[in-house]
Chains A and B, each alone.
Chain A
């Protein structure tokens, strides 16, 4: 119960609104440009890397928390942040290691769960 009392509801609201707004940008891209979902994901992750590298995205993260880190923009920003930090610590080698290292958890989880799901699940038709 202590945990529920510790939740910052204003923080949660900011997270909800910012996360939702980022998704609206994606929805407008889907409906207005006929881009496939793969291209939209690429646009988001690349934009995230650029905004992260320029340090702009950190302000959004500070404001909205997971509302900024959970969308793919945050995945991109995290890649950039990792690359920069590691590059500053260990030079050129770090530039190669940093990005993937920072996002390794997510990538490994997606690959592992993907493999796991394929063992169990069977393809099914969409009903609508």
Chain B
């Protein structure tokens, strides 16, 4: 092997030395767990429709129930095991958003309920709300003037 002297050479060498994630296995797990979470949502949705609720309310109930389940599993220390196995499969559905809020809430409990739980709750998921809500306001403004 030739000598490595510059930063560029070293970074290329490191890239080649670093082990890759088992991407096929990860994708397969993400696919079926993600699909399953959505399907659970679909069954709840169908049940709401069956009970005569409208589409908007049914969707909201699906979100609330899935978030509740994710929060419960996070509290029981089970969600991180699902997340390790499924990766994006549990992160990308609304369950990942719930886990991102609940996990710092539990972790920072040791710093008190106001600044610990209350303040640190959004350390991971805060950006989602900031970017999501800001984007929606921009869309709304555009819609007001141009549509």
Contact = CB atoms under 8 A, between A and B. Distances in A.
A–B direct touch, CB within 8 Å, in complex? yes
Interface of A: 2-3, 6-8, 11-12, 15-32, 37-42, 44-46, 48-50, 52-53, 64-67, 69-76, 78-80, 82-84, 86-88, 91-92, 94-96, 98-100, 102-103, 105-107, 109-111, 113-118, 120-124, 126-128
A98 B77 CA distance: 35
Interface of B: 20-21, 23, 26-27, 30-39, 41-47, 50, 56, 59-64, 66-68, 71-72, 74-77, 80-81, 84, 86-89, 91-94, 96-98, 100-102, 105-107, 109-110, 113, 117-118, 121, 124-125, 127-129, 131-133, 135-137, 139-144, 147
Given A41-B100, A41-B125, A66-B38, A83 B93 contact: no
B27 to A, nearest CB: 5
A5 to B, nearest CB: 10
| Top 4 closest pairs, chain A to chain B, by CB | A95-B140, A19-B38, A23-B34, A99-B136
A84 B143 contact: yes
A37 B100 contact: yes
8 contacts: A20-B30, A40-B92, A66-B45, A67-B42, A70-B41, A75-B132, A79-B133, A126-B84
B46 A6 contact: yes
B133 A100 contact: yes
A105 B63 contact: yes
Question: SS class of chain A's interface: helix, strand, loop or mixed?
Answer: helix
Contact of B141 (A27, A92, A103, A126): A92
A123 B89 contact: no
Nearest to A17: B35
Contacts of B37: 19, 70
A110 B93 CA distance: 13
A95 B143 CA distance: 8
Contact of A117 (B46, B102, B139): B102
A108 to B, nearest CB: 8
A26 B118 CA distance: 29
Contacts of B91: 23, 26, 30, 37, 40-41
